[in-house]
Structure 1
Amino acid sequence: MTKLKIAIQKSGRLNQDSLKLLKDCGISIDNGKDQLKASARNFPVEVLYLRNGDIPQYLRDGVVDVAILGENTLVEKGEDLKIVERLGFSKCRVSLAVPKEAAFTDLKDLDGKRIATSYPNTVKKFFDENGISADLHIINGSVEIAPNIGLADAICDIVSSGSTLFKNGLKEVVKMSESEAVLTVAPNLSAEKQEILNTIQFRIQSVLRGQNSKYILLNAPNEKIDDIIELLPGMRSPTVLPLAQEGWSSIHTVVIGKSKFWDLIDELKVRGAEGILVVPIEKMVL
Structure 2
Amino acid sequence: MQQKLKIAIQKSGRLYEDSVKLLKDCGIDVKNGINKLKTEAENFPLEIYFLRDDDIPQYVEDGVADIGIVGENVMYEKNKKAFIVEELGFGKCRLSIAVGRKDDYTGVGFLQGKRIATSYPILVEKFLAEKGISAEIHEISGSVEIAPGIGLADAIVDLVSSGSTLFMNGLKEVETVLKSQAVLIRNEKLRADQLQLLDRLLFRIRAVKKAKNNKYVLLNAPNNKLQEIIALLPGMKSPTVLPLAEPGWSSVHSVLSEDRFWDIIEQLKDAGAQGILVIPIEKMII
Rounded Cα–Cα distance in structure 1 between residues aligned with 2:53 and 2:114: 28
Deviations 1:216-248 (A, max 9, x none): 000011010000011112001101011010000
Deviation at 1:260, TM superposition (A): 2.3
Does the 8 Å CA contact 1:30/1:41 hold for their aligned counterparts? no
Q: Which amino acid aligns with 2:261?
A: F
Partner of 2:255: 254
Q: How does 1:189-268 map to 2 (within 5 A)?
A: 189-255=190-256, 257-268=257-268
Partner of 2:87: 86
Q: Which amino acid aligns with 1:142?
A: S
Q: Which amino acid aligns with 1:282?
A: E
The alignment's TM-score, normalised by the length of structure 2, stands at: 0.97
Q: Helix, strand or coil for the counterpart of 2:258?
A: coil
Q: Helix, strand or coil for the counterpart of 1:59?
A: helix
Q: How does 1:1-286 map to 2 (within 5 A)?
A: 1-78=2-79, 80-255=81-256, 257-286=257-286
Deviation at 1:27, TM superposition (A): 0.6
The alignment covers a number of residue pairs equal to 285
Deviation at 1:111, TM superposition (A): 0.6
Deviations 1:53-101 (A, max 9, x none): 1111111111110001101111111364221111100100110001112
Q: Which amino acid aligns with 1:165?
A: L
Which 5+ residue runs of structure 2 have no aligned equivalent? none
Rounded Cα–Cα distance in structure 1 between residues aligned with 2:168 and 2:39: 37
Rounded Cα–Cα distance in structure 2 between residues aligned with 1:233 and 1:91: 29
Rounded Cα–Cα distance in structure 2 between residues aligned with 1:237 and 1:145: 55
Q: Single out whichever of 208-217 and 81-90 deviates more from structure 2.
A: 81-90
Does the 8 Å CA contact 2:92/2:180 hold for their aligned counterparts? yes
Rounded Cα–Cα distance in structure 1 between residues aligned with 2:104 and 2:80: 34
Deviation at 1:145, TM superposition (A): 1.0
Which 5+ residue runs of structure 1 have no aligned equivalent? none
Does the 8 Å CA contact 1:8/1:67 hold for their aligned counterparts? yes
Rounded Cα–Cα distance in structure 2 between residues aligned with 1:28 and 1:264: 37
Rounded Cα–Cα distance in structure 2 between residues aligned with 1:194 and 1:259: 33
Deviations 1:143-196 (A, max 9, x none): 111111111111001111111111211110111121111101011111111111
Deviations 1:225-279 (A, max 9, x none): 0000111120011010110100000000111x22221110000011110010010
Does the 8 Å CA contact 1:31/1:39 hold for their aligned counterparts? no
Does the 8 Å CA contact 2:73/2:180 hold for their aligned counterparts? yes
| Fraction of identical pairs, as percent | 59
Rounded Cα–Cα distance in structure 2 between residues aligned with 1:80 and 1:250: 53
Does the 8 Å CA contact 2:57/2:80 hold for their aligned counterparts? no
Rounded Cα–Cα distance in structure 2 between residues aligned with 1:30 and 1:11: 15
Q: Which amino acid aligns with 2:278?
A: V
Q: Which amino acid aligns with 2:185?
A: T
Rounded Cα–Cα distance in structure 2 between residues aligned with 1:30 and 1:272: 49
